[in-house]
Structure 1
């Protein structure tokens, strides 16, 4: 099979950068293959993506060495316009690709620039919207879409171009589980039907296994590893070295491998394989499940804690006769860690924006600390809100000034501002960054800056909207441990997330939403055991919960959510009594 893409000795440095973003990168991609590029934030994945359709060096300045060849065309010699219909690029920030006022206008933008007949333009756009589950959204304003819907629209815009090569930079980072499945199923179908070549930068091993022919790991702008996915994903130690999040069931398999119970090649990478492995081990070593082990020690809310948020008969409309929230009733008490989950567009962010006054009810009431939100002018002091995209709330010239801004706005004196800024900078580990420009830092650090700017206000309630989106595993762990620490010290946490593994690990209570209504409100274990509600909300329970559910006949309980719980629940070898 001839090569679709070839890189020879490619190095690249951005203007005024002292460090190369890519350093002597060499690899080729065969036509029709699927290659995943993985690695931590700042490894060079996005820079590599920009090289593959000529944006580097044609539009972005900097120093490029080596050659990038696409279908035997050296991209140094090709205009971006020439490659746009051939190599489709989906950026990691969907808002950077939005051009149209409505969904159909935006999706039609690409094929319209190919000078196609009007009928074909709209036919392509319609097909792309169907593939990305946006049919029916044609006339919706692009600014009224949720983060996940914007991501699907960006992908639809590229699909409408009918490219031969698709380069996707974190295509699923803001999608709900159903959206992730559908996008990757669409990619699978296109690859099968049209021999599409796929190059995807991705953090999630679970979406790569069974799809990718090869994985390339970048670290510090260099290729640190290249090979078949199974070899990498079974090696938990190597994944940790590269800062890549392991597949949950592989962590259990790795423990078995470390004990000498299974061979390396037997480490499971999916739930079905893990079920067989566990059954075999339970039989071979005469183990019996002991039920759910003690959960990790986390701060529990007081049983009679005061209500911090009370929502009564809340309805909200962005447009007349279009209820985005429908008769919402709930109470959140001091000390809770609540996760809002549900599909894209279910109303999670709209609901959360009522908690700090960013939105006011069309009908009903939101009571914060006993005061109606309509009569609470300084809600930001009580309810801190960290946006999904940190770049929407960062605007100062240095990290230090960003943290000072909110404190000056609420009228604190300079001594108190200094005390709070110093405390928060130390708490978040930003000591070496206080004089840096926020936009000179990586996505993970900007996420922490956005969080720090809110923490400086010392809110009693913290709302975090998709705090792990776009972060590598190290960034995910850091931001979530900061949030856990805040919760342990009394802050009430409300987290919006599509990452069911993170929800299972940190949240105590789940509010599940669909179509602007609450579908379920209960403990994390109860929520992930309710398969009917999960199916209605198009959600997939965590991998360990799915594994435990398949092993119920052996005595495993359905509320097992984490690897450690599962391993402890397997029990100890049982002595066989003589007859």
Structure 2
């Protein structure tokens, strides 16, 4: 079998860095294999991917040692543009590789540069767009695409080149659940039909565990572990050590394993095996069949004063159909609301109306008693905090401290009050150690925290946060969500956009589902996630534990469980929910 990628004793140090980012990495990837690279933020995953197409060392300076061969070519001695015909790289931030003004123009950019015949280009473009669920988007302006749609476009721009090797750096972090599944199905299909070699950098595991041949874990720039996925994801201690998110059903199995009820090899990694295991273990907790009991329904209707009132909101971009089509919505002060839906459903468009970044084409938006059409964003920002999907869109100062100072000074605050507020928020968010660091020298998860801190320092009543955990490792995700929960408990109204259904189920108290600019579901997590048919129509897959709970309705009183602790409690109580 031919070798597609080979690294021998590769080390790399960024300019001015004290420690190398990669340390003596040895890695061999055989042709046609699907390899997943995992690890905590800052482990060296992105740096490794940049080494594979020659961006390191040819465009990014620094000190590189060791040997890197791609399809038999020495990366040091082969031009980046030549390697790009063999190895396609999808970067972590899709906006860095979107060039064209329209979707078709951007997708066609690569083959045009290599003088592919026009008819072939048109066919390739349409094929690539179809594979990433952007069929019919040819004339859409790229600047009007959602974050997830941009991520799909970046993947299409690489697939259209028909490379032998595909390297993807978190390519689905901003995609809806169905979209993630579709991309991985596409990659798996390409691998089998075209003998494509895939190296995927990923934090999420549920979609790839059955597709990957091998998982390679980086830790502080070194290869800390490698092997088959099942061995890694059944070892919860190892996952915690490396900062990798466990598969939800495996946490239930780990609990049974620690009780001595099952062996390590019996820990489930998918829903069918988890269901079978739970049914088999029910007699151990003294479970007996019994009749269903009525469930108390939690109301999502706000009891407090309204923080947000939206009436017949319609919004039309320059291209495409209306992004919002008659939205009516009330959100009470102090609520924790999650907006979910497929890419392009209108989530971010709706959120941008809440702080005046967008003004209604028709209808009205009232936030904290202010009609957003009658106030500018600078005035609204004193009450309404907005954290963008891409933190780099709102970071521009030379240090973390100055980033936090900017908003306060712009609001007219001075001297000691500015200093005290900045100090408090730096400590509150855990960013004090980065006070004098340039934000763009930090990882994406840390930059996201800086963006949040720059808003929190203004002490907003309402916080809108768009994909707060994109690009973060499991430790970073838990840190961010603990902060958001702390803010909510202190009385801040939270509106969160997220494609991570596990987080939505665990933290949000109310979920609003959007599809094609309309609200299709609105309720508490248990009610919303029990509507699998409607959710699938909106490209949403309920969290793994909710789907497991649905398959166990006959023993759980029809109740939807959303956290591992609820399953533990069920067994601890002898099967009494």
* TM-score, scaled to structure 2: 0.96
Distance in 2 (CA, whole Å) between partners of 1:245 and 1:451 is 22
Q: Residue 529 of structure 1 contacts residue 558 of structure 1 at CA under 8 Å; is this kept in 2?
A: no
Q: Is the 8 A contact 2:92 2:169 kept in 1?
A: yes
What corresponds to 1:107 in structure 2? 107
Which whole-Å deviations, capped at 9, do the CAs of 1:132-189 have from their partners, x for residues lacking one?
A: 1101100111101000000000000100000010000001101011110111111011
* SS of aligned partner of 1:134: coil
The residue number in structure 2 matching 1:459 is 460
Following superposition, the deviation at residue 47 of structure 1 comes to 0.6
1:372 match? 371
Contact 2:282 2:575 in 1 (8 A): no
- Asked if residue 490 in structure 1 is aligned to residue 497 in structure 2, the reply is no
- Within 5 A, what are the aligned runs for 1:442-481? 442-481=443-482
Q: Give the corresponding residue for 1:182.
A: 182
Name the residue aligned to 1:315.
314
CA change 1:321–1:101 in 2 (3 A) is: closer
How many pairs does the alignment contain?
570
CA–CA distance in 1 between the matches of 2:365 and 2:269? 45
Q: Which 4+ runs in 1 deviate beyond 6 A?
A: 289-292
In structure 2, how many angstroms separate the alpha carbons of the residues matched to 1:175 and 1:244?
20
Q: Which moved more, 1:497-506 or 1:49-58?
A: 49-58
2-side partners of 1:478 and 1:250: how far apart?
A: 22
- CA shift digits 1:384-428 (9 cap, x unpaired): 000011110000011111001111111113222112111111101
TM superposition shift of 1:79: 1.0
SS class of match (1:318): coil
1:537 corresponds to which residue? 538
Structure 1 259/183 Cα, relative in aligned 2: closer, same or farther at 3 Å?
Answer: same
Q: Distance in 2 between matches of 1:503 and 1:419?
A: 33
2: distance between equivalents of 1:268 and 1:288? 24
Q: Counterpart of 2:348 in 1: which secondary structure?
A: helix
SS state of the match for residue 518, structure 1? strand
Q: Distance in 1 between matches of 2:369 and 2:64?
A: 60
Corresponding residue for residue 53 of structure 1:
53
Measure how far apart 1:496 and its partner are: 0.3
Match of 2:247 in 1: 247
- After superposition, where does 1:114-125 map in structure 2 within 5 Å? 114-125=114-125
Taking the aligned partners of 1:447 and 1:197, their CA distance within structure 2 comes to: 32
The residue that corresponds to 1:548 in the other structure is: 549
Tell me which residue corresponds to 2:355. 356
- Between the aligned partners of 1:226 and 1:18, the Cα distance in structure 2 is 27
- Aligned-pair distance for 1:277? 0.7
> Is the alpha carbon distance of 1:320 and 1:95 closer, same or farther for their aligned partners in structure 2, counting shifts above 3 Å?
closer
Alignment of 1:243-322 (within 5 A): 243-288=243-288, 304-319=303-318, 322=321
C-alpha distance in 2, partners of 1:321/1:220?
45
Structure 2 matches for 1:35-74, cutoff 5 A? 35-74=35-74
Contact kept, 8 Å, 2:91 with 2:169, in 1: the verdict is yes
Quote the Cα distance in structure 2 between the aligned partners of 1:201 and 1:574.
Answer: 40
Query: Does the CA contact (< 8 Å) of 2:104 and 2:139 recur in 1?
Result: yes
Answer with 553-562 or 188-197: which moved more: 553-562
SS in 1 for 2:317: strand
Q: Which residue of 2 aligns with 1:162?
A: 162
Shift of 1:555: 3.0
**Greater CA deviation, 157-166 or 562-571?**
562-571
Measure the CA separation in 1 of the matches of 2:527 and 2:120. 49
8 Å Cα contact 2:513/2:522 also seen in 1 = yes
Q: 1:133 to 1:303 in 2, by over 3 A?
A: closer
- Whether the 8 Å contact between 1:7 and 1:28 is mirrored in structure 2 is yes
Q: Could you tell me which residue of structure 2 aligns to residue 431 of structure 1?
A: 432
> Which runs of 5 or more structure 1 residues have no equivalent in the other structure?
none
Contact 1:90–1:154 (Cα < 8 Å) also in 2: yes
CA displacement at 1:434 relative to structure 2: 1.0
The answer (yes or no) to whether the contact 2:184–2:208 under 8 Å persists in 1 is: no
Offset of 1:285 from its aligned partner? 4.7
Indicate yes or no: 2:334 matched with 1:335: yes
Answer yes or no: is the 8 Å Cα contact 2:309–2:329 preserved in 1.
Answer: yes
Matching residue of 1:346: 345
Quick one: distance in 2 between partners of 1:73 and 1:404? Answer: 49
Cα distance in 1 for partners of 2:320, 2:478 equals: 42
Q: Is the 8 A contact 1:549 1:556 kept in 2?
A: no
Q: Residue in 2 aligned with 1:89?
A: 89
Give CA deviations for 1:313-351 in whole Å, capped at 9, x if unaligned: 111111288311111001011110000000000000000
Secondary structure of 2:392's counterpart equals: helix
Distance 1:556 1:46, change over 3 A: farther
Q: Deviations over 1:8-65 (max 9, x none)?
A: 0000111111111110000101110111000011100001101112221222211111
Residue 202 of structure 1 and its aligned partner are, at CA, apart by 0.5
SS in 1 for 2:207: helix
8 Å contact from structure 2 (residues 14, 62) kept in 1: yes
Q: CA deviation at 1:303?
A: 5.8
> Unaligned regions of 5+ residues in structure 2, if any?
none
Most deviating of 500-509 and 520-529? 520-529
- How far apart are residue 376 of structure 1 and its match? 3.1
1:414 maps onto 2:427 in alignment: no
Secondary structure in 1 matching 2:206: helix
Distance 2:156 2:400 in 1: 36
- What is the Cα deviation at residue 574 of structure 1? 8.1
Given that 1:25 and 1:223 are in contact with CA atoms closer than 8 Å, whether structure 2 keeps it comes out as yes
